[in-house]
């Protein structure tokens, strides 16, 4: 089989490379000439474990290629995937669909045989129909169907998520399109992956419902964590106690500084706007958005409190600035609220992140960047863990204590044990656990 993938961002590049690993011939297309050149040279523009090897292997096998030319990429394809960005529109929080619709117009100009046009980007309900209308307006004669195939992969474990998904969701407008999509995912039948075939609108909404549900689950446990602190309970035991109930499930009950990243903040807001627009408001998600925004801001106050109520003239060592480990993505990272608030309160912030410092340096002016975790600590009044990178989990605590001016640690990801930290002589605070 043969497909074209429009957009070599996170979703497009990972999906394209993974489909090629399934044996499909994939041509990835992007308008960014520099990016295509780099990809042709084997340079991967994002940090994602395993992606460089996967791309190199499939390029060498002749199944994966990169081009600026959509017409060339669409020759003989069974399907063309739209995997361009759908950022939050400035001002109103709706998803900005200009790149999706732009891609639809360009696809229309290149259609010359039956092709399934698939939206892989996260797009609001109704976008697939609009894509079909755009193509029909430009090319009333074109032979095509549209389909929606939302992606559920997580940054940092994207390849595993694509290769071994819990399910695949396909919204198809005809049996013929559904059949093409099923054939593309044939390798997943071997591992008995459930394939949910549905209407376009249902598939589009399923993606938003999944992300907003997970965001709500995280927000729920974050609020329970705050309550645990007040009543002397342990949030991890509560999470385990409820998560073992199959109706609730164990995953996504880890408390933290609030969810960030390129998806949950954008998708919660977009679904809230869609729901308001059609007169069926999602009050629960409106509240989730509000709580999470406030939570990220409150985290700086925790660090200030741990430093005795003021950070003026003090140095705070920050470990991790990416929104989660195994990524260099800074989008909506809690650090973007926390670090500026500390600087505003008079602190010097010295930080380290294993992958995101290059990106972070553009977004967090005034931060001193260290070469490694220990490099942040010398003479600091406190250390704050903002991202749970593995390399922060097993720090040499004696060395940490010796480098710090005061043995104060604020662990916003709960990667250390309060008893161990007390024994090691730290004044330790974390989320939702008794001291």
Binding-site annotation, residues for substrate:
152-155, 207, 252-256, 260, 324
For this structure, is 28 an active site residue? no
| 265 touches ligand UGA by CB under 6 A | no
Under the criterion CB under 6 A, does residue 260 sit at the interface with ligand UGA? yes
Binding mask 106-145 for ligand UGA (x = CB under 6 A): ----------------x-----------------------
The reply to whether 151 sits near ligand UGA by the rule CB under 6 A is: yes
Among positions 63, 236, 314, 324, the unique one binding ligand UGA when judged by CB under 6 A: 324
Binding mask 278-307 for ligand UGA (x = CB under 6 A): ------------------------------
> Given the rule CB under 6 A, which of 47-55, 247-255, 348-356, 427-435 is the region that contacts ligand UGA?
247-255
Structure tokens at 410: 């604020």
Radius of gyration, alpha carbons of the chain: 23
Tell me the closest approach of the beta carbon of residue 250 to ligand UGA, in angstroms: 10
- Looking up tokens 């043995």 gives 407
Q: What is the 3-state secondary structure (H, E, C) of the chain?
A: CEEEEECCCHHHHHHHHHHHHCCCEEEEECCCHHHHHHHHCCCCCCCCCCHHHHHHHHHHCCCEEEECCHHHHCCCCCEEEECCCCCECCCCCCECCHHHHHHHHHHHHHCCCCEEEEECCCCCCCHHHHHHHHHHHHCCCCCEEEEECCCCCCCCCHHHHHHCCCCEEEEECCHHHHHHHHHHCHHHHHCCCCEEEECHHHHHHHHHHHHHHHHHHHHHHHHHHHHHHHHCCCHHHHHHHHHCCCCCCCCCCCCCCCCCCCCHHHHHHHHHHHHHHCCCCCHHHHHHHHHHHHHHHHHHHHHHHHCCCCCCCCEEEEECCCCCCCCCCCCCCCHHHHHHHHHHCCCEEEEECCCCHHHHHHHCCCCEECCCCHHHCCCCCEEEECCCCHHHCCCCHHHHHHHCCCCEEEECCCCCCHHHHHHCCCEEECCCCCC
The count of residues interacting with ligand UGA (CB under 6 A) is: 20
Q: Quick check: 392 binds ligand UGA (CB under 6 A)? A: no
Of 198-206, 255-263, 291-299, 377-385, which segment contacts ligand UGA by CB under 6 A? Answer: 255-263
411 binds ligand UGA (CB under 6 A): no
Q: Of the two residues 65 and 387, which places its CB atom closer to ligand UGA in the complex?
A: 387
Residue keyed to tokens 């044939």: 186
Q: How far is the CB of 398 from ligand UGA (least distance, A)?
A: 29
For residue 14, state whether it binds ligand UGA (rule: CB under 6 A). no
Which residues, including other chains, have CB under 8 Å from residue 105's CB and lie 6 or more apart? 134, 135, 138
* Residue from 256, 320, 354, 407 binding ligand UGA (CB under 6 A): 256
- Catalytic: which of 18, 263, 307, 382? 263
Choose between 30 and 151: whose C-beta lies nearer to ligand UGA.
151
Report the nearest approach of ligand UGA to the CB of residue 280 (Å).
22
Q: Which of residues 261 and 407 has its CB atom nearest to ligand UGA in the complex?
A: 261
Q: Please tell me whether residue 47 binds ligand UGA under the rule CB under 6 A.
A: no
Identify which range of 108-116, 146-154, 173-181, 226-234 contacts ligand UGA by CB under 6 A. 146-154
Q: Is 165 in the site for ligand UGA (CB under 6 A)?
A: no
Considering the rule CB under 6 A, would residue 152 count as an interface residue with ligand UGA? yes
Segment contacting ligand UGA by CB under 6 A, of 90-98, 99-107, 228-236, 256-264:
256-264
Q: Give the active site residues.
A: 263
Contacting residues toward ligand UGA, per CB under 6 A? 122, 151-155, 211, 214, 218, 252-254, 256, 259-261, 263-264, 323-324
């Amino acid at each position: 089989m043969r497909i074209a993938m429009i957009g070599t961002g996170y979703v497009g590049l990972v999906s394209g490379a993974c489909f090629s690993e399934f044996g499909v011939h994939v041509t990835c297309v992007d308008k960014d000439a520099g990016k295509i050149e780099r990809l042709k040279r084997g340079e991967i523009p994002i940090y994602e474990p395993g992606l460089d090897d996967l791309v190199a292997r499939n390029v060498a096998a002749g199944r994966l290629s990169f081009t600026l030319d959509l017409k060339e990429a669409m020759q003989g394809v069974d399907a063309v995937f739209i995997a361009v960005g759908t950022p939050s529109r400035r001002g109103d929080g709706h998803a900005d669909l200009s790149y999706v619709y732009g891609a639809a117009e360009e696809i229309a100009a290149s259609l010359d045989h039956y092709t399934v046009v698939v939206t892989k980007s996260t797009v609001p309900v109704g976008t697939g129909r609009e894509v079909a209308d755009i193509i029909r307006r430009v090319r009333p004669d074109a032979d095509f169907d549209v389909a929606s195939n939302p992606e559920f992969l997580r940054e940092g474990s994207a390849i595993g998520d694509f290769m071994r998904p819990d399910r695949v969701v396909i919204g198809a407008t005809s049996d013929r399109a559904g059949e093409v999509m099923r054939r593309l995912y044939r390798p997943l039948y071997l591992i008995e992956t459930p394939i949910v075939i549905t209407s376009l609108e249902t598939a589009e909404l399923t993606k938003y419902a999944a992300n907003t549900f997970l965001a709500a689950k995280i927000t729920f446990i974050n609020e329970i964590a705050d309550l645990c602190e007040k009543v002397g309970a342990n949030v991890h035991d509560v999470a385990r106690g409820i998560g073992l109930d199959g109706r609730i499930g164990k995953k996504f009950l880890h408390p933290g500084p609030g969810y960030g990243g390129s998806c949950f903040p954008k998708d919660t807001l977009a679904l809230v706007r869609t729901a308001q627009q059609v007169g069926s408001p999602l009050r629960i998600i409106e509240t989730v958005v509000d709580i999470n925004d406030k939570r990220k801001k409150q985290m700086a106050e925790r660090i200030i409190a741990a430093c005795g109520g003021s950070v003026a003239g003090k140095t705070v060592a920050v470990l991790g600035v990416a929104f989660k480990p195994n990524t260099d993505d800074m989008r909506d990272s809690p650090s973007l609220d926390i670090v500026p608030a500390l600087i505003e309160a008079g602190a010097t912030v010295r930080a380290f992140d294993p992958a995101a410092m290059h990106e972070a340096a553009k977004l967090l002016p005034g931060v001193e960047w260290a070469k490694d975790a220990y490099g942040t600590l010398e003479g600091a009044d406190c250390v704050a863990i903002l991202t749970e990178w593995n390399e922060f989990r097993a720090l040499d605590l004696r060395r940490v204590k010796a480098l710090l001016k005061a043995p104060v640690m604020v662990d916003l990801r709960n990667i250390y044990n309060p008893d161990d930290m007390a024994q090691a002589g730290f004044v330790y605070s974390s989320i939702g656990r008794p001291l």
